[in-house]
Amino acid sequence: MTIVTLSQAIAQDSTNALDSAVGNTPLLSLQRLGASLSPRVKMMAKAEWFNPGGSVKDRPARNILRAALSEGQLNNGKILLDSTSGNMGISYATLGAALGIKVTLTIPASASPERLKILRMLGAELELTDPLEGSDGAINVARQMFAEEPGRYYYANQYNNPANWHAHYTSTGPEIVQQTAGQVTHFVAGLGTSGTLMGAGRYLRQYNPEINIIAVQPDSPFNGLEGLKHISTAIRPEIYDPAFADELIEVSTEDAYEMVLRLAREEGMFVGVSSGAAAVAALKVAADLEQGLVVTVFPDAGYKYLSESFWEKLP
């Protein structure tokens, strides 16, 4: 009789795992936010906080883990190692705990206390990196740790791992087509690893080449939009193709913060700052249309950001 480990069993039959709850998130209409738009223009957002780990990052984390397990990359007690700004780490730790996989993360020390507490609660080992170096600093530390002990770690490398964008190609993109009955005309997504934009965008463009793909990034290398990268001044993810998007919109930290408040009070959606940035860009795109259906992605809810000082300045 063949002895099968828990990780192997779950990899073979994912319907028994927590990861079976990942995806198929609601697509919500932004009715009040788009009240001043042309009556033939609609805005909608994927509510990714409905994933079990609380963010869109459950999708690539699940796919990366599945690929690593099927390829034997996590055999012999290897530890999954990666850099994170928070959400991807929570997804790794959530799914890793269900699979019995140890997780070590490099994360800027400036990450919100809520994120750090959640990660520790889930059992992740944390290596706090220089907050002034942001996500790039965490990437460099993870690379160094792997270089020093390659036999100890499986370096998931979310910024360069094709399983990242492929997760969105096989889930996020098809869900958007199905939930809009194929009527989506514009897709707006923030740039972090770029996995959401590249994966869902590729699927949508294949489905209908007329769909416009719009990327969103902060308007400055120094910003308060946790989870997003100013691509032109940061370490560029290998999975990102700068020529892919039809348009690149830059959003200020202040505008994203203001939009977070608007979404909470006008739509009843308490979201994170990267969702606010996505909504700013989506509204800008929609305002220039006479007709169309603009779909964006809200990566997470706002609960992990309650300690941020900008909340105190809100009316």
Residue 315 has pLDDT above 70, yes or no: no
Active site residue 274: yes
Domains detected in the chain: 22-51+169-313 (3.40.50.1100), 58-155 (3.40.50.1100)
Instruction: Check: CB of residue 267 under 8 Å from CB of residue 43.
Output: no
Q: How many other CB atoms are there within 10 angstroms of residue 116's CB atom?
A: 18
Q: Got the DSSP string for 140-206?
A: HHHHHHHHH-TTTEEE--TTT-HHHHHHIIIIIHHHHHHHTTT---EEEEE-SSSHHHHHHHHHHHH
pTM (2 decimals)? 0.92
Which listed residue (55, 85, 112, 274) is catalytic? 274
User: What's the average model confidence in pLDDT over 19-25?
Assistant: 93
Active site residue 229: no
Q: How sure is the predictor about 196, in pLDDT bands with cuts at 50, 70 and 90?
A: very high
User: What's the average model confidence in pLDDT over 133-154?
Assistant: 95
List, for residues 240-268, the tens digit of each pLDDT value: 999 999 999 999 999 999 999 999 999 99
Instruction: Check: CB of residue 139 under 8 Å from CB of residue 159.
Output: yes
Which listed residue (57, 78, 102, 229) is catalytic? 57
Q: CA dist 16 to 12, 206, 238, Å?
A: 9, 32, 33
Q: Got the DSSP string for 48-75?
A: GGGSTTSBTTHHHHHHHHHHHHHTTTT-
